[in-house]
A and B are shown apart, each in its own frame.
Chain A
């Protein structure tokens, strides 16, 4: 029976993606608004502190210079400012040292102790310094006590205190004062002996003291003579024990203006000071400030601790200037001030990055081109741990177990990285570096926004003895930007239980610990769990998929100066299927499990050979077990055992020139062969803060499990007909997909010479070949029928009429491009950044190759922004992004098969802003963000992909608290 339906109104918008391209004036308006906003931001009164790291760096440099000039107080103030902005143990050490030199021993000891709690490598030395300083403080107290007693005429007790001080901290002055006290007491022999000891120090008053000694010796001689000739015949007026020698100053004789024991003021005089201006007969006291610390405090730590450090490009800490690849950094400040909570969206500000939000929970990231609905050209690491999804080769960002509040920085290494990280570091490496266990403060942050956005994160960090820990738990919820299925759709079936408004939601737990074994060795253990629901997009005809993920990892690592060992296990479980399908069609229910076990041993050694050539050698072996099951694949796909060998040597010829050479061999089970990759980077540093880099490298991306073992009947638009999409289909037995290849040459220049700006220029050429694509349907022929192909798929109730699967592209891409980026810190509190990326590709193909040229990468991309932080707690960021139009070649299902069509999307701009205010001793902060503020100016919001949601405007407010 036919049911009649009446027309029901719904909110469905019928505007098409191409409308975006038909609003030429729209982005011009947005750009104008964005530009005005930027200009306005630039004109904001500059009452602020600047970019934290740069401010700290600037204060540090100033402070160290003042201290070197002996201006301790001013220098210490600057260092304390630096440490307040960006705490660093080295700065604490230098403050301690400056206090010591200034004679502020108690403050010095306190700072040294603070420094020692950071478990530095020189802790033993510092503890010795503290002991010495404490001894000096004690000696000083004894000295003062002794002087006080002597002034009170209690010579014996005074001498005892002075001798105590002299034992702890021998000093000619103390010896002198002891001598003087003995003389006063009438112990002439001891007085003479002490004076003579004093004279050994060759004091400036040597002559005067020698005169005193002579007098005393005469008195002793006289006394002896008297005792021999007429014992007891001492007359009044003779020198008796207790008499003050002529010319000596008795305690009661001290006159105003003289230096008296009582003149010694706290902090003025330290035992051990060298006396310089004291006449014989006076009590010795004051010395020069800092004399107390000489020989104890050690060398200042002058290295630029606020220089940005990267670790990804060469598996060790180095400055971007020394990095063999261009490396961009997203700092904790960028993260905090931007207000952005999606990690991939943070990456947008990196020059050359392609960031594409398809749904509210699915963002894909590429670099220098070739982004896709399942972006697979970037290797993503979490603190060096691969979070590569072996099933699809993509990164589901919203399944990660850490959130932006746990991130110290994100490093983006541009260019091929297979030479260090093996397969899949194709166009770059993203390394998310979390805040280390024990670092930072514990805290909590909540956020809510329109369309049921939600964010919650709580974390605790601390140290218990040698064990440091950081634990976090969080929840995020992002709605779909737009939804494809209204609640009233009558022609569709939807996956049971899927919230049609939900882009993604994520519950997560993460715990990392680090145990110090000794100064250079640590043992790290950690694990995580996350559960996420995601609205995502597949490839080919697979759109709008709702998946539930569960991921977990367990990680252990040993780190030392010479050996690093890391092992981790990752489990990923995903289930779901298409979000919706027409009645009578399949939702492709899916269940996938991935277990990977990784092990890596890395040996590190620094040496010179020959003598003028330094080497920083990293050599290692790696292993990765991949165990995957998925109902879209063949039954029981084989476990894959991957093995790798890698070697990196950074050769320093002198301070101007170095050469980083690295190579890696990866055994790829699917290919059953070893794939080599390499990189060479010549780094020339005309000055310490400039670098010119010339590099060449190659990388590869191996077929994922999806590409290696696919075996999925794909329903075409006719529900009774399917094509079997298979990696190894009956019509193509033994087919092997070759890895994608990229070869890059790159030149770059980085200038960090100035304290107020830095900039980088990169130019590159990529040759990209063997790109993997879904093949067009290969229809079953009568010859195929003869070979048993085609027929009926009884399980699915469909006729298998064709085969699909993967294919390496027959074309080669030549890509030229570059990035230009600058960051300016004109004054304290203001940080400006801007970058521009250009990318052009050309297609080379044989005559038989019919592929349409890919134009999915914007030719031009621009980022600009301004960050502000004020002393009174106001902070914020305004950022602007613009990218030019694209044309995507994608596959769609048709009545009888799958075909490729081209889909244009227009250029678009994003303007994001955040304002925050800190209060209550900076422990609380309230903030508000707007993403894509001008989303619908001049027309409907833009799509980032022709199949994706319209990415609109979102508001969100946050409240955070830190202990």
Chain B
């Protein structure tokens, strides 16, 4: 086709030289759909045990996730979705070694011995398009193929999956060092030093992703078991409400007991409650372990551990929460994220409004004294609910973030944030954007609850197990469509009406934390 076209083109051009035969102008009608963008591609190398097989097929897929460094997933950031995703099916990745895999004649699942010999295979991937920015590539091999990007109950790796990514310090990681993901800039710096995608696009190729770190933990599946509200009226852990102008009775490092009491706290139990789902005559854990949920619930526990909060690779006294130098930052991280009104699944607001909980190991005093080597499995986790939210526009990394705290001080006049500049710097480092501090009423509405491990494994409530999708007809309280509804997985934290409306009038929620109108048109 091209050669013919060229031949005729040459002839015509010769004849029409007087009229002009240059290229037509370039015009891109839909700049944000086909305009210049950044793309990344590379190889993925799996190094680990042989994959599982079942029914004559190789189970599992290599999942490649690209994250904007400004929107890294917890615990590093508040990103909730990857900027892009690719997948290499196990059938493709292991296609060259298929003859080395064992397939049960009856089709039952056969998995390689995790401690057996490793195998190394490679495939290719590509992700994009991206706006200008700096990105990280992470990934894992989804061993059983139970990953799904659609459902929050299945969109993260589980125990046995093999993690990895484009890692700078792969050799160190094998010796136990924390992972350092490669920063991949997309774009060229402009006069201000900001990255911009050039008119021809920006293509980074040859990024090597290595998957070789088997994940030892299941996701932190939880349910709300208790609410501790010393000064309020909350009693039902499934209906916790905090006033938007919530003010600590006392917030003082010198009085940790009073401070702890001042927190509205929730307890999250590991796994699911043994509540019976009447319509199915089974308990929630029984139902959850089976399709379509496949929630990993064998011997559920939640693991307390220390965070390397400053990312220096060493866990020490400097790894503390922003509120207090005395309180070490712990895993699992607790995050409450504001939902769009009336939408409990997939209803992330714009801007993102995130309330970071305070993970409490037994008590504030015990937390303060937790050792650097803390690694304790527990049936429950205590989370203090900070009356403060972070508001960032995840779609626009250039917009300033806001830390909104309901009051500047406690009821005794103790200032909550002693060093505002330090907090701002901390937030700016975390979210890769400038930050402002603000004091006023918190955005009212429902907030999802999340527990996050250092591996990035997390669990969110509410989730699909407890909430019927739009195309699933709710039949009573136990059924969504053709499957059970697990009520424990349909719980939210509510930021409710202020106890003092006048305060909120005088200190309203800043615009940066309120929903922005959706832009429908191009």
The answer to whether A and B come from one shared complex is yes
A949: nearest residue on chain B (CB-CB)?
B27
Q: Is B502 engaged at the interface, CB distance under 8 Å to the other chain? A: no
B 7-43 binary contact with A (CB < 8 Å = 1; else 0):
0110011011001111111111111011011110100
Chain B residues with Cβ below 8 Å from A349 are: none
Report the tally of A-B residue pairs with Cβ distances under 8 A.
Answer: 283
Contact A12 B199 (CB under 8 A): yes
Contact A483 B27 (CB under 8 A): yes
Contact B200 A783 (CB under 8 A): no
Shortest A668–chain B CB gap in Å is 29
Shortest A895–chain B CB gap in Å is 7
Within 8 A of B (CB), among A476-521: 477, 479-492, 497-502, 505
Q: Is A48 engaged at the interface, CB distance under 8 Å to the other chain? A: no
B 189-211 binary contact with A (CB < 8 Å = 1; else 0):
00000001011111111110000
Given contacts A721-B85, A783-B482, A783-B483, contact A792 B203 (CB under 8 A): no
B86: nearest residue on chain A (CB-CB)?
A720
Q: Is B6 engaged at the interface, CB distance under 8 Å to the other chain? A: yes
Stretch at the interface among A24-32, A105-113, A694-702, A794-802: A794-802
| Complex Cα–Cα for A9 and B464 (A) | 49
Chain A residues with Cβ below 8 Å from B15 are: 448
User: In this complex, which of B34, B63, B464 has the most chain A Cβ atoms within 10 angstroms of its Cβ?
Assistant: B34
Contact A8 B200 (CB under 8 A): yes
Contact B292 A13 (CB under 8 A): no
B182: nearest residue on chain A (CB-CB)?
A2
Shortest A493–chain B CB gap in Å is 9
Contact B126 A798 (CB under 8 A): no
Contact A490 B203 (CB under 8 A): yes
Contact B472 A781 (CB under 8 A): yes
Q: Is the interface of B mostly helix, strand, loop or mixed?
A: mixed
A484: nearest residue on chain B (CB-CB)?
B28
Chain A residues with Cβ below 8 Å from B464 are: 781-782
Chain B residues with Cβ below 8 Å from A452 are: 8-9, 12-13, 16, 21
Q: Is A719 engaged at the interface, CB distance under 8 Å to the other chain? A: yes
B15: nearest residue on chain A (CB-CB)?
A448
Q: Is A752 engaged at the interface, CB distance under 8 Å to the other chain? A: no
Stretch at the interface among A85-93, A324-332, A580-588: A580-588
| Complex Cα–Cα for A499 and B149 (A) | 38
Shortest B5–chain A CB gap in Å is 4
Shortest A401–chain B CB gap in Å is 18
Given contacts A720-B86, A783-B483, A901-B521, contact A491 B200 (CB under 8 A): yes
User: In this complex, which of A13, A492, A543, A783 has the most chain B Cβ atoms within 10 angstroms of its Cβ?
Assistant: A783
Q: Is A393 engaged at the interface, CB distance under 8 Å to the other chain? A: no
Partner of B198, one of A5, A585, A901: A5
A: interface residue count bin:
35 or more
Partner of A11, one of B23, B37, B204, B207: B23
Q: Is A731 engaged at the interface, CB distance under 8 Å to the other chain? A: yes
Contact A779 B469 (CB under 8 A): yes
Q: Is A71 engaged at the interface, CB distance under 8 Å to the other chain? A: no
Within 8 A of A (CB), among B202-231: 202-207
User: In this complex, which of B149, B150, B204 has the most chain A Cβ atoms within 10 angstroms of its Cβ?
Assistant: B150
Number of interface residues of B (CB under 8 A): 83
Contact A781 B19 (CB under 8 A): no
Partner of A450, one of B21, B25, B196: B21
Chain B residues with Cβ below 8 Å from A718 are: 82, 84-86, 127, 149
Chain A residues with Cβ below 8 Å from B129 are: 491, 582, 717
Shortest A635–chain B CB gap in Å is 20
Within 8 A of B (CB), among A4-45: 4-18
Given contacts A786-B482, A797-B92, A892-B30, contact A2 B185 (CB under 8 A): yes
| Complex Cα–Cα for A533 and B5 (A) | 9
| Complex Cα–Cα for A952 and B291 (A) | 58
| Complex Cα–Cα for A487 and B184 (A) | 25
Given contacts A490-B200, A505-B5, A781-B472, contact A950 B25 (CB under 8 A): yes
Shortest B257–chain A CB gap in Å is 44
Q: Is B312 engaged at the interface, CB distance under 8 Å to the other chain? A: no
Chain B residues with Cβ below 8 Å from A483 are: 23-27
| Complex Cα–Cα for A957 and B38 (A) | 43
A 573-585 binary contact with B (CB < 8 Å = 1; else 0):
0000000101111
Q: Is B145 engaged at the interface, CB distance under 8 Å to the other chain? A: yes
Shortest B68–chain A CB gap in Å is 12
Contact B149 A720 (CB under 8 A): yes
Contact B483 A491 (CB under 8 A): no
Q: Is A383 engaged at the interface, CB distance under 8 Å to the other chain? A: no
Partner of A491, one of B30, B125, B188, B201: B201
Q: Is A652 engaged at the interface, CB distance under 8 Å to the other chain? A: no
Given contacts A477-B12, A501-B24, A584-B39, contact A797 B29 (CB under 8 A): no
Q: Is A961 engaged at the interface, CB distance under 8 Å to the other chain? A: no
A4: nearest residue on chain B (CB-CB)?
B188
| Complex Cα–Cα for A792 and B58 (A) | 12
| Complex Cα–Cα for A14 and B2 (A) | 28
Contact B34 A484 (CB under 8 A): yes
Contact B26 A786 (CB under 8 A): no
Q: Is B522 engaged at the interface, CB distance under 8 Å to the other chain? A: yes
Q: Is A529 engaged at the interface, CB distance under 8 Å to the other chain? A: no
Contact A901 B469 (CB under 8 A): no
Shortest A613–chain B CB gap in Å is 58
Shortest B111–chain A CB gap in Å is 18
Chain A residues with Cβ below 8 Å from B199 are: 7-10, 12, 486
Shortest B82–chain A CB gap in Å is 8
A6: nearest residue on chain B (CB-CB)?
B188
Contact B84 A719 (CB under 8 A): yes
Q: Is A454 engaged at the interface, CB distance under 8 Å to the other chain? A: yes
Given contacts A452-B9, A480-B24, A946-B522, contact A786 B483 (CB under 8 A): yes
Q: Is B316 engaged at the interface, CB distance under 8 Å to the other chain? A: no
| Complex Cα–Cα for A778 and B291 (A) | 21
Contact A943 B29 (CB under 8 A): yes
Chain A residues with Cβ below 8 Å from B184 are: 2
B93: nearest residue on chain A (CB-CB)?
A797
Q: Is A902 engaged at the interface, CB distance under 8 Å to the other chain? A: yes
Chain B residues with Cβ below 8 Å from A583 are: 39, 41, 126, 128, 203, 205
| Complex Cα–Cα for A477 and B9 (A) | 9
Q: Is B339 engaged at the interface, CB distance under 8 Å to the other chain? A: no
Q: Is A228 engaged at the interface, CB distance under 8 Å to the other chain? A: no
User: In this complex, which of B29, B38, B203, B471 has the most chain A Cβ atoms within 10 angstroms of its Cβ?
Assistant: B29
User: In this complex, which of A3, A14, A489 has the most chain B Cβ atoms within 10 angstroms of its Cβ?
Assistant: A489
Q: Is A667 engaged at the interface, CB distance under 8 Å to the other chain? A: no
| Complex Cα–Cα for A502 and B24 (A) | 9
Q: Is A475 engaged at the interface, CB distance under 8 Å to the other chain? A: yes
Chain A residues with Cβ below 8 Å from B480 are: 781-783
Q: Is B413 engaged at the interface, CB distance under 8 Å to the other chain? A: no
Q: Is A287 engaged at the interface, CB distance under 8 Å to the other chain? A: no
Partner of A499, one of B5, B188, B206, B469: B5
Q: Is B61 engaged at the interface, CB distance under 8 Å to the other chain? A: yes
A 919-963 binary contact with B (CB < 8 Å = 1; else 0):
000000000000000000000100100111110100101000000
Given contacts A582-B128, A719-B86, contact A10 B205 (CB under 8 A): no
B interface with A by C-beta (< 8 Å): 1-2, 5-6, 8-9, 12-13, 15-16, 19-31, 33-34, 36-39, 41, 57, 61, 63-64, 81-82, 84-89, 91-92, 125-129, 145, 148-151, 184-185, 188, 196, 198-207, 291-293, 464-465, 469, 471-472, 480-483, 520-522
A483-B24, A491-B200 known, 6 other contacts, Cβ within 8 Å: A7-B198, A14-B31, A583-B126, A720-B64, A781-B464, A892-B33
A interface with B by C-beta (< 8 Å): 1-18, 360, 448-454, 475, 477, 479-492, 497-502, 505, 533, 543-544, 548, 580, 582-585, 717-721, 731, 778-787, 790, 792, 794, 797-799, 801-802, 892-893, 895-896, 901-904, 940, 943, 946-950, 952, 955, 957
14 CB contacts below 8 A, A to B, read A3-B206, A488-B200, A490-B202, A533-B5, A583-B41, A583-B203, A585-B126, A720-B85, A779-B471, A786-B292, A794-B92, A797-B86, A799-B87, A901-B521
Across the A-B interface, the 4 shortest Cβ-Cβ residue pairs: A584-B126, A491-B201, A783-B481, A482-B27
